[in-house]
Amino acid sequence: MPEVWDAIVVGGGHNGLVAAAYLAKAGLKVLVLERRRIVGGASVTEEVFPGVRFSRLAYSAGLLRPEVIRDLDLPRFGYEVHPFDPQFFLPFPNGDSILLWNDADRNHRELARFSKRDADAYPKYVAFWTDVMELIEAMVLEAPPALSDLMALFRGAEAEDLARRVLLSSAADLLDEFFESTEVKAMLATATTIGLPAGPRTPGTALMLGHMLLHEINGVKQTFGYARGGMGGISQALAKAASHYGATILTSAEVRRIVTRRRRAAGVELADGRSMEARNVLANVDVKTTFERLVEPDGVDPDFLARVRRIKATGVVTKVNCILSELPDFTCRPGKTVQPHHRGYIDVCPSIEYLEKAWDDAKWGEPSREPFLDCVLHSVTDPSLAPPGKTTLSVYSQYSPYRLRTGSWDDRKEEVGDTILETLAAFAPNLRHTVERREVLSPLDMEREWGLPGGCIYQIDMTPDQLLSLRPLPGWSSYRTPVPGLYLCGSSAHPGGGVTGAPGRNAAMVVLGDLRVAPV
């Protein structure tokens, strides 16, 4: 008799590992199959150049749910995160710059340099989002409520106005309500369109301002930071936890087919020809790949398949990972030795208009001529990542449309890499001669190497029409799929992308509930 697993998880991204750990901890026999030679998916640290390790895709920590950290006892398996401080540094073309710290008084002084009114408004803005995000946070670790139930929470004129501001407004409109200074608004807008095919003036982007506040590090809310060992440090801790609780993890194990028997998930077939049987299959791989390529066509209803094909997955990001021979020397804050502004996010986004114009280019299939950049010098806070004297520079850049109007990504990615680095060099000119080596990862690379459809960083778009009970499709936000025994446990499912562990945990809970097995 062939071995039958209780659950096979297709994909060893961080959510697949979270799901596997919860299921194994509850006593199930679990197998994780990862196509790449290393687990972690988009949350991975790899030695790209000899002796230098990069968080190749995801680059900042703080979203992993505290419940997941606690339930899986992750610190015991090497999980360690620390806050950035300062959180943000934005240089401006006029030679000024802004820093956002983890200290209210310091922030008040810093913001008041740009506008006293904005400095006073900032705590009110944070309090506004804190209240809203408490509502949202309550929905993160459960299947989302039906849209009608969600809307029923907003009864009365005041609540309706809140729904308008939070769910329907653009980020720019909401920031205009609170602030007047170009620089303060620019700093806060950086978070709004991360990974989205949208600009800060696109309706519905306001919610992302709050989404970013779901970050929490070591009990301190609304804090971004770094993981020891890079983002792969988180995935490695999860893999160790999953193995400890009894899961088996195989890498270089590409699933070619999810096998159904009598219309129920029954196992998988690997690209190398091996077959494995399972009572349940959890797809950590995205929903489009799952149904468009892995489930046999006669195993799924054609109408459902047609709806899956219409799910949007839009790549807009290029990532550039560089080795530097010295620290970036910013004109506005000179110096090549470590200073506070080297320790957190370094963003190029001088204004909301700048960000919107960057999106304008991409709408028509052109990489932004003046891109938005979100950079981190990981080796400054974690020297284990690079040898002495070398610095890692991670540049996340928008917008890079997957579908180019002219040329192909293979032909154009180095040119786009040049534009990105030149954009940063305008503020730190020594970059022009300190980049020793670099890798440029286009949306096409993200699709080919990590399986992200269309290079979409969240597997599928996190636009309002694909969030909450609409994710991945209306009627299918419960992690179950039309194929009994097949579940979604990756970021295609609620609450979506980011290294949260939430889809993985939620899916595991649904599987355990369906099997009538109590979680441990």
Ligand X SMILES: Cc1cc2nc3c(=O)[nH]c(=O)nc-3n(C[C@H](O)[C@H](O)[C@H](O)COP(=O)(O)OP(=O)(O)OC[C@H]3O[C@@H](n4cnc5c(N)ncnc54)[C@H](O)[C@@H]3O)c2cc1C
- Name the site residues for ligand X (rule: CB under 6 A): 10-16, 33-36, 41-43, 57-60, 63, 254-255, 284-285, 289, 317, 319, 396, 446, 450-452, 457-459, 490-491, 497-499
Choice between 115 and 401, CB closer to ligand X: 401
Give the β-pairing of 4-10 and 30-33.
parallel
Choice between 38 and 151, CB closer to ligand X: 38
Choice between 204 and 453, CB closer to ligand X: 453
Per the rule left: phi > 0, alpha: psi between -120 and 50, beta: everything else, 73 is left
* Least distance CB 56 / ligand X (angstroms): 8
Say how far apart CA 344 and CA 97 lie, in whole Å. 14
Say how far apart CA 325 and CA 321 lie, in whole Å. 13
Choice between 21 and 121, CB closer to ligand X: 21
Whether omega for the bond prior to residue 495 falls within 30 degrees of 0, making it cis, is yes
- Is residue 268 within 8 A of residue 280, CB to CB? The reply is no
- Is residue 378 within 8 A of residue 321, CB to CB? The reply is no
* Least distance CB 237 / ligand X (angstroms): 14
- Is residue 189 within 8 A of residue 200, CB to CB? The reply is yes
- Is residue 509 within 8 A of residue 39, CB to CB? The reply is no
The stretches of 222-367 forming alpha helices (DSSP H) are 231-244, 287-289, 302-310, 352-363
Q: How many other CB atoms sit within 10 Å of the CB of residue 42?
A: 23
Choice between 60 and 169, CB closer to ligand X: 60
What is the distance, to the nearest Å, from the Cα of residue 19 to the centroid of all Cα atoms in its chain?
Answer: 18
* Least distance CB 12 / ligand X (angstroms): 5
Choice between 84 and 396, CB closer to ligand X: 396
* Residue 457: partners with Cβ closer than 8 Å, 6 or more residues away: 42, 57, 195, 315, 317, 446, 497
Choice between 457 and 511, CB closer to ligand X: 457
* Least distance CB 165 / ligand X (angstroms): 25
Choice between 293 and 357, CB closer to ligand X: 293
Q: Which residue has the tokens 């920590």?
A: 61
What is the distance, to the nearest Å, from the Cα of residue 224 to the centroid of all Cα atoms in its chain?
Answer: 13
- Is residue 88 within 8 A of residue 183, CB to CB? The reply is no
* Least distance CB 445 / ligand X (angstroms): 10
* Least distance CB 64 / ligand X (angstroms): 8
Whether omega for the bond prior to residue 350 falls within 30 degrees of 0, making it cis, is no
For residue 236, what are the CA distances in angstroms to 6, 18, 41, 231, 398? 23, 11, 11, 9, 28
* Least distance CB 369 / ligand X (angstroms): 21
Choice between 119 and 438, CB closer to ligand X: 438
The stretches of 346-400 forming alpha helices (DSSP H) are 352-363, 378-381
* Least distance CB 31 / ligand X (angstroms): 11
Choice between 91 and 504, CB closer to ligand X: 504
* Least distance CB 339 / ligand X (angstroms): 23
* Least distance CB 60 / ligand X (angstroms): 4
